[in-house]
Amino acid sequence: MENKQQKTIITVVGKDTVGIIAKVCTYLAENGINILDISQTIVSGYFNMMMIADFNGSKKAFGDCQEDLEKLGEEIGVDIKCQREEIFQKMHRI
């Protein structure tokens, strides 16, 4: 949808393997999406990466990026989700 100063949370969950971050970042760079923050943890043996990204300069619509990233995730064998930040803000901040 129309983005005005909207931040997006990208999460990558799955088995750790070489090049996950590289592939996701390459995709984002190619499409003009700026990464504001990255963090990574291992939860019960699974690789968990969270990125906060700025889609304002994105060349593609939000929905299309979601689909592309989902496909990319399938190729690498991880689950990639793209959600607007508000859902987390609302739930965890008063």
Partner 1 sequence: MINSWEVIETNHMVEHENLDVRTITIGISLLECIDSDLDKLNENIYRRITTVAKDLAKVGDAIQKEFGIPIVNKRISVTPIALVGGAACKSPEDFATIADTLDRAAEAVGADLIGGYSALVSKGMTKADEMLLRSIPTALCRTKRVCSSANLASTKTGINMDAVKLMGEILLEVAEMSKDRDSVDCMKLVVFCNAPDDNPFMAGAFHGVTEADAIINVGVSGPGVVKTALEKVRGENFEVLCETIKKTAFKVTRVGQLVAQEASRMLGIPFGIVDLSLAPTPAVGDSVADILCEIGLEFAGAPGTTAALAMLNDQVKKGGVMASSYVGGLSGAFIPVSEDQGMIDAVQAGAITLEKLEAMTCVCSVGLDMIAIPGDTKATTISGMIADEMALGMVNQKTTACRLIPVIGKGVGDTVEFGGLFGYAPIMPVNKFSCDDFINRGGRIPAPIHSFKN
Among 18, 39, 45, 75, binds partner 1 (CB under 8 A): 39
* Cβ-based neighbours of 91, under 8 Å, separated by 6 or more: none
Among 25, 27, 31, 48, binds partner 1 (CB under 8 A): 48
Binding mask 56-85 for partner 1 (x = CB under 8 A): ------xx--x--------------xxxxx
How many residues contact partner 1, by CB under 8 A?
A: 27
Q: What is the DSSP letter of 33?
A: P
- CA torsion angle for 17, 55, 7, 41 (degrees, to 10)? 10
> Residue 16, interface with partner 1 (CB under 8 A)?
no
Distance CA 17, CA 52 (A): 21
Strands 34-43 and 46-54: antiparallel
> Residue 26, interface with partner 1 (CB under 8 A)?
no
Instruction: Tell me which residues touch partner 1 (CB under 8 A).
Output: 1, 9, 11, 13, 37, 39-41, 43, 48, 50, 52, 62-63, 66, 81-92
